[in-house]
Structure 1
Amino acid sequence: MDIQGLSDKVVAQDRRALARAITLVESSREDHRAQAAALVEEIRRKAPHQAVRIGLSGTPGVGKSTFIESFGTFLTEQGLRVAVLAVDPSSARSGGSILGDKTRMERLSRNPNAFIRPSPSQSHLGGVARRTREAVALCEGAGFDVILIETVGVGQSETVVAEMSDLFILLLAPAGGDELQGVKRGIMEMADIILVNKADGDLKATATRTCADYSGALRLLRKRPQDPQDFPKAMTVSALEEDGLTKAWEEMRTLTDWRRENGHFEGRRAAQARFWFEEEVKQALLAQLQTAAAKGAMDQLGLDVATGAVSPSVAAQRMLEQLKHS
């Protein structure tokens, strides 16, 4: 593949080239991985553009796709270019995904200033495809101003999205308190802004009460150094009626500007870069277990453990010794 030519087209904002580039970074083939790394580095060198990266999480059915379509359309009307990286749940059996988010965002998908890329989660922790962060870098190189990273549902593992975002937005439904008790604290400690969606019609009063409940809960959390006064905060929005979007965007900009001025923005990105470096090393070590020799050794040691010939701890030590000398 012509890495130079492809990188030039991505930087020139060629949408088809960007789609090809993201397909390349999502590939697990070893030769493609080397090409993808070279492509990302080339684009970073040619276009060191910084977009605002916004991670968006929420329970299934909370209206994430509707919110992203309304919010993305609102941003494009402000003259901004918006990229949406939507991660779809994958089948545990086939690894496939229906990639339905783009279908649900019909209006935004036709917008010339928007780019929507659904990707299967491929069973990775947190529902964030392993290569999503590289796709973010490509979208930045292609000159997008705002990158929305939508994830699959909510849970402790979902907080991995915060490691590739400048802002982490948690979307909640009205009166959704009880089923969130188990995950609320972990997620809320990561959230910069909580948006209670569906604040319209019969649910408007309920949404206002839910927002007040979460505002009170946020005040009980320990103050974070990367937050100005009154953050994190909870707000109500209606994606259906497009109400509250202007206020939400103003608060996001206020928080981002404050973090830039006080050194937290660059510091956070540096910490994220280190996090992903360590993750890459871990993934590379795990990949060593997928070689034919390693699988054979694992199978043999697994039989020994199953028959009681050796304990799991001793077998694991022997396996590590084999990997060390391979």
Structure 2
Amino acid sequence: MKRSDCGKNIQELSDDENSALKINAGKESKLKNSDGFSGYLEKKRRKLTLQDYIDGIASGDRVILGRALTLIESKRSDDNKLSKAIINSCLPRSGNSIRIGITGVPGAGKSTFIESFGLYLISLGKKVAVMAVDPSSSKSGGSLMGDKTRMERLSGMKDVFIRPSATSGFLGGVNRATREAIILTEASGYDVILIETVGVGQSEILVHSMVDFFLLLQISGAGDELQGIKKGIMEMADGIAVTKADGDNIQKAELCRKEIETALHYTLNYDRDWSVPVLTLSAYENRSIDKVWEMISRHTGIMKKNGRFDQKRKDQIGEWLKSAIVQSLENEFHNSPKIIKVIDRYRSEVLSGKLSPAAAVEELINLFRDDK
């Protein structure tokens, strides 16, 4: 959508009375005349048009950015219509950040590292956005909500935006919401996007599919079983950092670093231009945090020079398109009145052994097609 088109039907594309984002306000005033705490409350409460969202995001307004992210997570059809218009308007201003995925074994101190790293980036004049990917967050509440309260120094900085995990209970929904959140934060002027994984397995694979650099945090003395959880992730990592290299743990951290370097010789290297570095650092003592950024900057420079950076971005967009098609068709299937009417019967027949899953799928798909 071109900016010149943004004013078209703006009033129609606004939060309606039933939207989860709509809070009854008193006397409304224009956003540009709002200031201080009263302005903050006014922006949190008032009904926003498409143009309000576009202007607010472009100006770096964190309140409006937060409301836009809530909107894209909504399951209401009216909210989805507005969120799509916002995403389309923000696309031309997106893509200029460095997207960094951060994962690690339990106890590696991800939130402590993110705060130290974020503060370092702020000292360089960067604007930093932090978000999480957690498919279970609708059940567990996610970890970043708690981490936000622990990252007190970082969350208080004016050039930082911290967003708890998207609250969809399934991976496809988190996939879409996180990718769209990246677009909005980039359009709002954030230079570095930090995406934390929560848990292990699918969330790490998902984050890897949407970032430019994937950082794995390890700790010494975690035990073979615990470290083994991450062995499959090592091949995905662009860089590895052994955390908590301070006090009596410095020598253990250095030994762990050497062991990881040895292990990397037995993993596949997908890029001949880049050998995965292994660092030791202490977020507590704020030591070697700068080396992480140097590593990421060096990787970015190499990838841009050999064309892999742009190609990877294009491949990620292609994967996003494929997953969006699958999710859209799946939603349409499950919301079909004919399917809703018979799905429980087919499930019972499959569970009782009267019908095979393949046969049930074939009949259900045919029924769905007949409904078109």
Normalised by the length of structure 2, the TM-score is 0.81
- Alpha-carbon displacement from aligned partner over 1:64-99 (angstroms, at most 9, x marks no partner): 00000000001001111111113457467x564472
Partners of 1:181 and 1:201 lie apart in 2 by 22
Match of 2:42 in 1: none
How many aligned positions are there? Answer: 322
Residue in 1 that maps onto 2:105: 59
Is the contact between residue 86 and residue 101 of structure 1 (CA under 8 Å) also seen in structure 2?
no
Q: Structure 1 CA distance, aligned partners of 2:355 and 2:295?
A: 59
- Verify the 8 A CA contact 1:66 1:105 in the aligned structure 2: yes
In structure 2, the partner of 1:27 is 74
Check 1:200–1:64 CA distance in 2 against 1; reply closer, same or farther (3 A cut).
Answer: same
Corresponding residue of 1:261: 305
Point out the more displaced range, 136-145 or 111-120.
111-120
Residue 163 of structure 1 corresponds to which residue in structure 2?
A: 209
Identity, % of aligned pairs?
A: 42
User: Shift of the alpha carbon at 1:243?
Assistant: 0.5
| Higher RCO (CA < 8 A, seq sep 6+) | 1
* Separation (CA, whole Å) in 1 of partners of 2:172 and 2:237: 15
Q: Cα distance, 1:15 vs. partner?
A: 1.1
| Off by >6 Å, runs of 4+ in structure 1 | none
Rounded Cα–Cα distance in structure 2 between residues aligned with 1:321 and 1:303: 19
Output the CA distance in 1 between the equivalents of 2:202 and 2:86: 32
Go from structure 1 to structure 2 and tell me whether the alpha carbon gap of 1:303 and 1:95 turns closer, same or farther (over 3 Å shift).
same
Aligned pairs (5 A) from 1:1-326: 1=14, 2-45=49-92, 47-87=93-133, 90=136, 94=139, 96-97=141-142, 99-120=145-166, 122-125=168-171, 130-155=176-201, 158-180=204-226, 182-225=228-271, 228-229=273-274, 231-291=275-335, 292-326=337-371
CA shift, 1:114, in A, is: 1.0
Task: Give the partner amino acid of 2:302.
Answer: W
Q: SS in structure 2 opposite 1:148? A: strand
With over 3 angstroms needed to count, the CA separation of the structure-2 counterparts of 1:137 and 1:162, relative to structure 1, is same
The code of the aligned residue for 1:323 comes to F
Do the aligned partners of 1:126 and 1:157 also contact (CA within 8 Å) in 2? Answer: no
Task: Specify the SS of the correspondent of 2:342.
Answer: helix
- Amino acid aligned to 1:77: S
Aligned-residue CA RMSD in angstroms?
A: 2.2
Given that 1:86 and 1:151 are in contact with CA atoms closer than 8 Å, whether structure 2 keeps it comes out as: yes
Compute the TM-score of the two structures, normalised by the length of structure 1: 0.92
SS of 2:165's equivalent?
strand
Structure 1 residue runs without a partner (length 5+): none
Structure label with greater radius of gyration: 2
1:239-276 Cα shifts (integer Å, max 9, x gaps): 11110111111111000011111111100000000001
